[in-house]
Amino acid sequence: MYKDIGLFINGEWIYPDSNTPCIDVINPSTHERLARLACADVRHLDDALQAARLAFAQWRFSSAEARSNVLYNVYRIILSEAESIAALMTLDQGKPLAEALAEVRFCAEHAKWHAEECKRLYGRLVPARNPKVRQSVVKRPVGVCCAFTPWNFPFNQAIRKMCAAVGAGCTLILKGPEEAPSAVAALADIFQRAGLPAGCLNLVWGNPEQISSYLIDSPVVAKVSFTGSIAVGKKLAALAGAKMKRVSMELGGHAAVIVCASSNIDKVCTLLVDAKFRNAGQICISPSRFFIHESIIDEFVTCLLEKTRKVRVGDGMDPQTKMGPMCNERQITRLQAIIEDSLAAGANLLAGGSRVDGPGNFFQPTVLTNVPLDARMMQEEPFGPVIPINPFSDLATVIAVANSLPYGLAAYGFSEDRNECATLAEGLEAGMISLNHYGLGMPETPFGGIKESGYGSEGGAETYDNYLSTVFISELTQS
């Protein structure tokens, strides 16, 4: 059952009451109110800062084994409670229950990966010029961190930051997504039961701008991590830059998909329809600009349309549903405007194009062809269930078109020709490139962008880099 959700500060839950302002959490499938969410004011933020500061004084000296044990416990608890976490996530975020369950189960692996890697945060000895000197390089936790995570993958985005901060020996204040808070609240509870001391992880909700500017400005905070839109990311990076604070940013993208003539059309269409309509297209690495070789484009479009028409849209709690609602009304308004702009610019609408009548934020799976490259659809991240398709004839030219935007998060290529695959891998400007399958986001592989899509990787061997400072110690051991 969906219940009121509180702030979590210094190991205590603070639920909505007459002293704590709150907002409603709404089910995007039905527009019904699910519960109340407590919102933080300055007093709560000060308490969270104080708790995180005091906890850091202890947690920074915890053993790697102790931190690893907490993260392993987190992994085990998540797996045993995955069904109930997923059901609540479907209610507030909207994604189909099977997708929510897959997100929770898969993301338990982030805790396991961080549990393993935190035992390998090695320093090194550097041979000194003077034999009486010992030179060591050590890694230290950066300090109190603040993080801001979005509503599209509430569990995934939050657990990555929580595990990396806690595993490195940092403490964290995380502002979760007000629109889909249940999965993040579940995580805070799980970390506590896994043995994480009070104050190491604090959770707040409320006015995003007020919270982020207050926390980033605080001298207590040493590092800022954000996942969300490029526009907000730039604001937060500027605030952090004014105080020279460490920053990692996982921002939006507009992933190009290049399908070469040698591709297996049916296989590629199955994969792309599945990837595109997952989470109603609200995925930062969603395939979103489709360039198909002119020799196969007619066959590709026919095949893709056939598969798109079978995507069943509905309430995520219905097991027949393939695609749930958009998480909030803003996404529908934005998407509708982007589609209308494309049509005005001369694009052809082959499927969908508008919201589904009735309650809920449902949008039709949409396919457009011949979308001018200067239309908003080809310039801005659509973040919705829409496939814009354009033909290409020359691989080098289409790679240049793919690279022409300021984004650089993910890119996809399909070809049965090894030389073409090598050209795609070498030429595409993106932090993550997937060829002939959809293979991004594993715990053991780095996740992050280049260009305006951000900096700093989450996951992979790089995952702790953002949460550690490098300190060089030179010691004269004999006089």
Residue with smaller CB distance to ligand NAD, 290 or 392: 290
Using CB under 6 A, count the residues that bind ligand NAD.
22
Per-residue x/- mask for ligand NAD, residues 162 to 181, rule CB under 6 A? ---------------x----
Q: Which of 103, 75, 50 is nearest to 163 (CA)?
A: 75
8-state DSSP, 151: S
- Our finding on whether 363 is near ligand NAD (CB under 6 A) is no
- Our finding on whether 156 is near ligand NAD (CB under 6 A) is no
CA distance 479 to 477: 7
Residue with smaller CB distance to ligand NAD, 341 or 417: 341
3-state secondary structure 220-276: CEEEEEEECCHHHHHHHHHHHHHCCCEEEEECCCCEEEEECCCCCHHHHHHHHHHHH
Would you say 282 and 383 are in contact if contact means Cβ atoms under 8 Å apart?
yes
Q: Which of 99, 103, 178, 250 is catalytic?
A: 250
Please give the residues from 67 up to 106 whose contact with ligand NAD meets the rule CB under 6 A.
Answer: none
Q: Cβ 453 to ligand NAD, closest distance in Å? A: 8
* Phi/psi at 327 (5° precision): -70, -30
Please give the residues from 229 up to 268 whose contact with ligand NAD meets the rule CB under 6 A.
Answer: 229, 232, 235-236, 250-252
Q: Cβ 285 to ligand NAD, closest distance in Å? A: 8
Q: Which of 132, 200, 213 is nearest to 165 (CA)?
A: 200
Q: Are strands 255-259 and 33-38 parallel, antiparallel or unpaired?
A: unpaired
Q: Which of 141, 66, 434 is nearest to 268 (CA)?
A: 434
Q: Cβ 148 to ligand NAD, closest distance in Å? A: 4
- Our finding on whether 146 is near ligand NAD (CB under 6 A) is no
Give just the sign of the alpha carbon dihedral 325, 330, 333, 336.
negative
Q: Cβ 228 to ligand NAD, closest distance in Å? A: 3
Residue with smaller CB distance to ligand NAD, 60 or 234: 234
Annotated active-site residue 250? The verdict is yes
CA distance 242 to 248: 15
Q: Cβ 336 to ligand NAD, closest distance in Å? A: 13
Q: Which residues bind ligand NAD (CB under 6 A)?
A: 148, 150-152, 177, 208-209, 212, 227-229, 232, 235-236, 250-252, 284, 330-331, 381, 383
| Residues marked as catalytic | 250, 284
